[in-house]
C-alpha cells in the first residue's frame, strides 16, 4: 500500500489493486509535478499557496476513484444502468487519466503558454503517447493501446465512454472539485468551500439530447450545487483574478518574451534554451525531454542569473520578480479610460528610456485560463476562442457548458433555470480589465 497524508482528503491510499496508479506515481514525469506549483505565482498574493500539481493530481485520481465506486447509487436516466456499467468498464483508464491530466503543465504554466503558443493539454497527451517517457511505458505495460485510451480521455475525445470524459472534464468534474477545495484551503480563502461528501452522495448521471451528462439529484442536490457555484465565483474573483497574481503572471510573460528577443541563453539549460529559441514543439517526440526539464526551479534560477544581465529590461524584470516588486494594476471602467491611461503611461515609459510594451500592459483577467460558463460565459474571452479553435482542429473537445439536475424520471433541469442564486451569478460576469505598470509610475495623475 502507498499512502499520502493530504490536507484536503485526509488519507489517500492505493493498494495492490491500484498497482497501475502506484507505478505511474513513481515515474519521473509524474514526480516532476512536485516541482511545479498548482497556482503558479499565486503565493505572491497568498503566501500559503505553495501546493504542487503533484498533490492536486493525486486528489483528482482519489476523487475519480471515489465517484466511480459510488456509481452504484447513480440514477437519472432511463438507461442509467447501461451508463453506470459504461463508466465502470473503463475505471482504470478514468483513474489513470485523472492522475495524469496535468502532467503537461510547465512552470507558471499559463504564462508559459502565452510564450510557446501551445496549451499544456497538448504536452500532456504528447507525454502520454511518447514511447520515450516512463509514463507511456507503464501504460503500455498494463495493456497494449492503453496509453491511447488515456490520451483520448484527456482530449475529451474518448468515444467508448463519453460519461468517463465528463467525470474529468465538464462543469461538474473531479478536476474542478479538487482544485477549488485545495486552492481555497491553501490560500486561506474560507469562502471557497463546499461539502464534497454530500456532492458525491447526490451525484447522478443522465442523458441530455442523447449525450451522457454527470449531474446532481434534483431534490437533494440543488443546495450543494449552489454552494459549488458560489465557491467558484468567489475563487475567481478573489484568488484566480487577484491583481498582484495577474501582474506577476504578466511580468513572467514579458520576462520570457524579452529573453527570447535578445537570445538570453544559459549554458547547461537545454530546456530553457529550447523555449527561448522557439524549438519546443509538442508534436515532436524528440522535444519532449527538453520540455520536461522545465520546472519552477529552472525559471527561478534563470531569473537569478538574468538579474545581473547586461540588458536593462531583462535585468529589471528579473529583479522585480525576485524581490516581489510586481506591477500595480488599475481597474479601468471603459475603453476611453484605458486608452487615456495607456497613452499617459506609454509616454512616461519613453521618457524613462524603456520600451513601453514591456512596462505598460492592458490585462483582461477573464482571458486567462479559467473559462467558466457559470462565471465567465462563452464568447467573453480569448481562452474561449482558443478552445474553439482547438476543437475545430480535432485536438480537444469543449467541456459540457451546463450543470444538470435530474429528477426521478431522468428528466434534466439546467441548474440556472432552477436556482435564482445561480442565475444571478451567471448573469453577473467576472471580467476584470486592468492597466498594469510599475507602481511608482502611477503618480502625477497617470491613473486618473
**Tens-of-pLDDT digits for all 448 residues of the chain?**
889 999 999 999 998 889 999 999 999 999 999 999 999 999 999 999 999 999 999 999 999 999 998 876 665 554 556 666 777 889 999 999 999 999 999 999 778 888 888 889 999 999 999 999 999 999 999 999 999 999 999 999 999 998 899 999 998 999 999 999 999 999 998 877 899 999 999 998 888 888 888 899 999 999 999 999 999 888 988 998 899 999 999 999 999 999 999 999 999 999 999 999 999 999 898 899 999 999 999 999 999 999 999 999 999 999 999 999 999 999 999 999 999 999 999 999 999 999 999 999 999 876 333 356 666 544 333 333 333 334 434 455 555 678 999 988 889 999 989 999 888 887 776 788 999 999 999 875 544 4
Q: Is 398 helix (H, G, I), strand (E, B) or coil?
A: coil
Q: 31, 166 in Cβ contact below 8 A?
A: no
What CATH architecture applies to the domain 2-239+408-426? Answer: Orthogonal Bundle (1.10)
CA distance 244 to 329: 8
Q: Say how far apart CA 365 and CA 240 lie, in whole Å.
A: 8
* Rounded Cα–Cα distance for residues 73 and 295 (Å): 41
Query: Residues 406, 75: contact at Cβ < 8 Å?
Result: yes
What values do phi and psi take at 160, rounded to 5? Answer: -60, -25
* Other CB atoms within 10 Å distance of the CB of residue 58: 24
Residue whose C-alpha is closest to residue 327's, from 412, 433, 416, 436: 436
92 grid coordinates: 482504470
DSSP line for 182-203: HHHHHHT-TTS---HHHHHHTE
- Between CA 383 and CA 80, with CA 397 as vertex, the angle to 5 degrees is 130
Separation between Cα atoms, residue 349 and residue 280, nearest integer Å: 33
Which residues are CB-contacts of 92 (< 8 A; sequence separation ≥ 6)?
Answer: 20, 142
Give the pairing of strands 328-331 and 2-6.
unpaired
State the Cα–Cα distance between residues 28 and 44, nearest whole angstrom: 28
Per-residue exposure over 158-196, b if at least 16 CB sit within 10 Å of its own CB, e if not: beebbbbbbbbbbbbbbbbbbbbbbbbbbbebeebebeb
Burial class of residue 336 (count of CB atoms within 10 Å of its CB; 0-12, 13-18, 19+): exposed
Domain definitions of the chain by residue range: 2-239+408-426
| 268: number of Cβ within 10 Å | 6
Report the half-sphere exposure of 435 (CA within 13 A, side-chain side). Answer: 23
Cell numbers for 261, please give them.
528577443
**Residue reference for cell 439529484:** 217
Specify the pairing of strand 2-6 against strand 203-208.
unpaired
CB 251 within 8 A of CB 321: yes
Using a 10 angstrom Cβ sphere, with 0-12 exposed, 13-18 middle and 19 or more buried, the burial of residue 1 is exposed
Distance CA 15, CA 36 (A): 26
Q: Are 91 and 161 in contact (CB under 8 A)?
A: no
Amino acid at each position: 500500500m502507498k499512502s499520502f497524508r493530504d490536507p484536503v482528503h485526509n488519507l489517500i491510499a492505493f493498494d495492490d489493486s491500484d498497482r497501475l496508479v502506484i507505478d505511474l506515481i513513481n515515474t519521473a514525469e509524474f514526480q516532476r509535478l512536485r516541482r511545479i506549483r498548482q497556482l503558479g505565482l499565486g503565493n505572491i498574493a497568498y503566501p500559503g499557496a505553495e501546493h504542487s500539481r503533484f498533490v492536486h493530481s493525486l486528489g483528482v485520481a482519489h476523487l475519480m476513484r471515489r465517484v466511480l465506486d459510488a456509481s452504484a447509487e447513480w440514477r437519472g436516466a432511463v438507461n442509467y444502468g447501461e451508463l453506470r456499467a459504461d463508466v465502470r468498464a473503463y475505471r482504470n483508464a478514468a483513474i489513470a487519466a485523472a492522475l495524469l491530466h496535468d502532467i503537461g503543465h510547465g512552470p507558471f504554466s499559463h504564462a508559459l503558454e502565452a510564450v510557446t503558443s501551445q496549451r499544456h493539454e497538448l504536452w500532456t497527451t504528447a507525454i502520454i503517447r511518447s514511447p520515450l517517457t516512463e509514463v507511456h511505458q507503464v501504460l503500455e505495460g498494463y495493456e497494449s493501446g492503453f496509453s491511447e485510451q488515456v490520451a483520448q480521455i484527456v482530449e475529451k475525445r474518448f468515444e467508448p465512454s463519453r460519461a468517463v470524459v465528463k467525470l474529468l472534464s465538464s462543469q461538474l468534474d473531479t478536476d474542478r472539485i479538487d482544485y477549488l477545495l485545495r486552492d481555497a484551503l491553501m490560500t486561506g480563502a474560507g469562502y471557497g468551500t463546499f461539502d464534497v461528501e454530500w456532492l458525491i452522495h447526490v451525484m447522478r448521471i443522465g442523458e441530455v439530447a442523447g449525450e451522457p451528462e454527470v449531474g446532481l439529484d434534483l431534490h437533494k442536490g440543488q443546495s450543494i450545487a449552489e454552494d459549488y457555484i458560489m465557491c467558484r465565483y468567489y475563487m475567481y474573483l478573489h484568488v484566480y483574478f487577484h491583481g498582484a497574481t495577474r501582474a506577476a503572471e504578466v511580468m513572467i510573460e514579458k520576462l520570457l518574451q524579452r529573453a527570447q528577443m535578445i537570445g538570453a541563453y544559459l549554458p547547461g539549460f537545454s530546456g530553457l534554451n529550447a523555449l527561448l529559441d522557439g524549438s519546443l514543439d509538442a508534436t515532436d517526440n524528440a522535444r519532449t525531454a527538453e520540455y520536461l526539464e522545465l520546472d519552477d526551479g529552472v525559471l527561478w534560477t534563470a531569473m537569478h542569473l538574468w538579474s545581473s544581465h547586461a540588458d536593462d529590461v531583462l535585468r529589471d524584470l528579473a529583479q522585480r520578480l525576485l524581490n516581489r516588486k510586481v506591477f500595480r494594476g488599475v481597474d479601468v471602467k471603459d475603453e476611453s479610460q484605458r486608452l487615456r491611461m495607456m497613452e499617459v503611461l506609454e509616454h512616461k515609459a519613453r521618457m524613462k528610456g524603456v520600451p513601453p510594451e514591456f512596462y505598460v500592459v492592458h490585462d483582461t483577467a477573464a482571458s486567462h485560463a479559467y473559462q467558466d460558463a457559470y462565471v465567465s460565459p462563452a464568447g467573453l474571452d480569448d481562452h474561449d476562442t482558443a478552445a474553439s479553435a482547438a476543437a475545430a482542429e480535432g485536438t480537444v473537445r469543449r467541456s459540457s457548458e451546463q450543470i444538470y439536475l435530474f429528477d426521478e424520471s431522468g428528466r434534466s433541469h439546467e441548474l440556472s433555470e432552477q436556482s435564482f442564486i445561480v442565475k444571478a451569478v451567471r448573469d453577473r460576469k467576472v471580467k476584470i480589465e486592468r492597466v498594469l505598470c510599475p507602481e511608482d509610475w502611477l503618480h502625477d495623475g497617470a491613473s486618473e
